[in-house]
Structure 1
Amino acid sequence: MEKYLEKLLLQIRCKKARPYIAEEIKGHIESQIEDNIADGMSYEEAEKNAVADMGDPIAVGISLDKIHKPQIAWKLLVIVGILSLLGILLQQSIFYQSGYSNLEPFMQEMYQLETESFVYSVFIGFILMCGIYFIDYTVIAKYSKIIGLFIITMGILLLAGFFGGDINGVRYSIGFGMFRISATSLMMFYVPIYGAILYKYRDGGFPALLKSIVWLIIPVFITFRMPNLIVAIIMMISMLIQITVAILKGWFKISVKKTIVSLWAVFMFLPIMLLFVMYTFHLLAEYQEARIHSFFSASGERFYLTSMLRTFSKDILFVGNSGNDVIGSLPEFNSDYIFSYILNSYGSIAGIVVVAVLAALVMFIFGASIKQKNELGMVMGFGCGMIILLNILLNLLGALGIIPPASSFLPFLSIGRSNILLCYALVGIIMSIYRYKDVYPKKIRASQVSFQKTINI
């Protein structure tokens, strides 16, 4: 049997697939041996016949090699490539358009710097995406708790003022000197890492579920205290989706329906009550209280922006410029309100194209995750998809004036180095998951995967 396996595995080019193929084939042979012995054969005869029944090892190996080989997500690459190109063209358009507006020279210079920074970020993002793709998501899963603790630690240090002061009570970035990254981008990257942490508690029962919830609460609370309520909500919903999928898949030996209903009821009710108490007793940052007051009283700066965005939306043409002074009227129109700029500068047809490409991105991510037979990849993929999906929804609805503007970005199109790198990192994880969709089995131990010993040949 060992010689048969050696010949068969010689035909398998993907080394990561060999241990699983060897285990599967060995299981089939041993099962057939048991049947042959039950039919009255000796062990030696039973083994010889079982191996012979498997067929020629070279032919079987070649056939399995075609099935268990890494795949490249070409469709995803095309979608990301289109979005990257659109992002560069949009930012270039903003730079050239600002030169013909009534903006001060220093503002035009700022847009030039932001455009250059955007291009550099796209280039670095592609490198980051490829790096994560080749690392293999199971390696990330193996060290998920260490990565998660690192992100949490950085968040705690930020709250303690370790990385410098804040701006208007908000703590923005982590790092030193020029090497800084947005704190919220780093915290959002925690979400796919949480999927791998969640997988480590598989088959652990109710105590394991409680530990998983603790890993959820801590980073959400840290993000809330930065303070960034919207990103905290995005993270909480995304991780609740992940843990719901895990419960539905039977990872925890608990009542499925009761647990899911209780989990969502608690996490939806408690934050609202906590927010109410903090608002009532003035425990929130001043700007957060102002936003809440603006939302419920239909007044203030946020309501003013919402009204302006709604007014701009009424003048949008099917093709062409609406005539609205987006550059001179909207703050951060090249990031938070980039979709409003697209609609007002190029018309609704351009907006439809952008939405269609973004929809294709989201559909591919969730489609790849749902079809992924390896449940570790599935849950990590859902985390990546939720971060991208929720930011798209919040950004589009805010830009159209349907909801009050929130802290969000339009993936691959909004400026912001950290958010751009976050998008490419998330896509890198998805590409890695897709790459090994026919390699890894349904259930693997995340603590050992990628470091398992292959059979020496």
Structure 2
Amino acid sequence: MDLAHHKDIQDYIRKVCTQVRFHDVHHDIKLELTAHIQEIVEEYLQQGLSEKEAVKQALAQMGDADIIGKQLDLVHKPKPEWTILLLSFLFVNIGLLAMYFIQKQSLLIYDSILFEKSLLYSLMSLIFIIGLYFFDYRKLERFSKHFYIGTLLILIFTVFWGIQVKGSSSWLAIGPFIVNVVAVIPFLFIAALAGIFNKWDW
């Protein structure tokens, strides 16, 4: 007996899922709960109960949907990779410390504010990383082709109309910042192609 589309069961499962903030596991939770509820319903049906009463008893046996949802939310709560975060923080600070001593010793005559720029870029990167932590960037996957085309257009624009440094037109001015587009482009292409080929039927 297929009870996957039974209204009461669907309402119960939907109520459970509203308590689970990690939406990627909703599908698996729905499948698991549906199968479990169906097993209980079949047991009650074998005892002679009607389908309506069997579903009612099965949902009562499952327990309060809000409580189950909160318990599942704790189980499926994404955990930060603290080791990676701490190592990244350590390496960034080592790099900043190196930039500070390089600037203090005047080892780079052509760049007198190397440490300040490095510190600014590090803070910008930190803000960007925090933003990615709270934003599910996988939602951008459907825009992968647009992202690829946009990246290609930026590269072409930079090559022909970018700022020349030592004979290479690989720099682009973005407000007060000058970005080495050619150095960044490969990573953008990798991200775009990863989204394009993710669902490729190999």
Alignment TM class, shorter chain as reference: 0.7 to 0.9
2:198 and 2:156 mapped to 1: Cα distance?
A: 25
Instruction: Give 1:189's aligned residue.
Output: 188
Instruction: Give 1:70's aligned residue.
Output: 78
Shift of 1:69: 1.4
- State whether residues 103 and 113 of structure 2, in contact with CA within 8 Å, keep that contact through their aligned partners in structure 1: no
Shift of 1:37: 8.8
2:64 and 2:32 mapped to 1: Cα distance?
A: 13
* Match status 1:83 vs 2:91: yes
1:174 and 1:197 mapped to 2: Cα distance?
A: 26
Matched residue type, 2:62: M
- State whether residues 14 and 70 of structure 1, in contact with CA within 8 Å, keep that contact through their aligned partners in structure 2: no
Instruction: Give 2:122's aligned residue.
Output: 122
Instruction: Give 2:169's aligned residue.
Output: 171
Instruction: Give 1:262's aligned residue.
Output: none
- State whether residues 84 and 122 of structure 1, in contact with CA within 8 Å, keep that contact through their aligned partners in structure 2: yes
Shift of 1:17: 5.2
Residues 196, 38 of structure 1: CA spacing in aligned structure 2 closer, same or farther, 3 A cutoff?
farther
Unaligned runs of 5+ in 1: 100-106, 205-251, 253-457
Unaligned runs of 5+ in 2: 1-8
Matched residue type, 1:27: T
Shift of 1:56: 4.1
Shift of 1:68: 1.5
- Residue by residue, what CA displacement relative to the aligned partner does 1:207-258 show, whole Å, maximum 9, x if unpaired? xxxxxxxxxxxxxxxxxxxxxxxxxxxxxxxxxxxxxxxxxxxxx3xxxxxx
- Residue by residue, what CA displacement relative to the aligned partner does 1:275-311 show, whole Å, maximum 9, x if unpaired? xxxxxxxxxxxxxxxxxxxxxxxxxxxxxxxxxxxxx
Matched residue type, 1:187: P
- State whether residues 17 and 69 of structure 2, in contact with CA within 8 Å, keep that contact through their aligned partners in structure 1: yes
Instruction: Give 2:102's aligned residue.
Output: 94
- Residue by residue, what CA displacement relative to the aligned partner does 1:66-105 show, whole Å, maximum 9, x if unpaired? 1121322322221111111101110111122336xxxxxx
Instruction: Give 2:6's aligned residue.
Output: none
Name the % identity.
21
Matched residue type, 2:136: D
Matched residue type, 1:61: G
1:66 and 1:177 mapped to 2: Cα distance?
A: 44
* 31, 35, 43: which one aligns with 1:28: 35
* Match status 1:61 vs 2:69: yes
1:177 and 1:49 mapped to 2: Cα distance?
A: 65
1:179 and 1:98 mapped to 2: Cα distance?
A: 23
1:196 and 1:41 mapped to 2: Cα distance?
A: 50
1:171 and 1:180 mapped to 2: Cα distance?
A: 12
Matches within 5 A, 1:177-216: 178-182=176-180, 183-201=182-200, 204=201
1:31 and 1:156 mapped to 2: Cα distance?
A: 58
1:84 and 1:15 mapped to 2: Cα distance?
A: 30
Matches within 5 A, 1:33-52: 35-36=42-43, 39=46, 42-52=50-60
- State whether residues 17 and 68 of structure 1, in contact with CA within 8 Å, keep that contact through their aligned partners in structure 2: no
Q: Which has the larger radius of gyration?
A: 2
- Residue by residue, what CA displacement relative to the aligned partner does 1:345-364 show, whole Å, maximum 9, x if unpaired? xxxxxxxxxxxxxxxxxxxx
1:131 and 1:59 mapped to 2: Cα distance?
A: 30
Matches within 5 A, 1:419-438: none
- Residue by residue, what CA displacement relative to the aligned partner does 1:124-163 show, whole Å, maximum 9, x if unpaired? 111121122222221232322222221122123334x033
- State whether residues 164 and 171 of structure 2, in contact with CA within 8 Å, keep that contact through their aligned partners in structure 1: no
Residues 6, 188 of structure 1: CA spacing in aligned structure 2 closer, same or farther, 3 A cutoff?
closer
- State whether residues 144 and 197 of structure 1, in contact with CA within 8 Å, keep that contact through their aligned partners in structure 2: yes
- State whether residues 157 and 163 of structure 1, in contact with CA within 8 Å, keep that contact through their aligned partners in structure 2: yes
Residues 7, 177 of structure 1: CA spacing in aligned structure 2 closer, same or farther, 3 A cutoff?
closer
Residues 167, 177 of structure 1: CA spacing in aligned structure 2 closer, same or farther, 3 A cutoff?
farther
Residues 54, 17 of structure 1: CA spacing in aligned structure 2 closer, same or farther, 3 A cutoff?
farther
Matched residue type, 1:132: L
Superposition RMSD in Å:
3.2
- State whether residues 4 and 57 of structure 1, in contact with CA within 8 Å, keep that contact through their aligned partners in structure 2: yes
2:41 and 2:146 mapped to 1: Cα distance?
A: 44
SS at match of 2:178: strand
Shift of 1:21: 5.7
Instruction: Give 2:16's aligned residue.
Output: 8
2:33 and 2:54 mapped to 1: Cα distance?
A: 14
More strand by share: 2
Q: TM-score, normalised by structure 2?
A: 0.74
1:60 and 1:134 mapped to 2: Cα distance?
A: 24
Residues 48, 177 of structure 1: CA spacing in aligned structure 2 closer, same or farther, 3 A cutoff?
closer
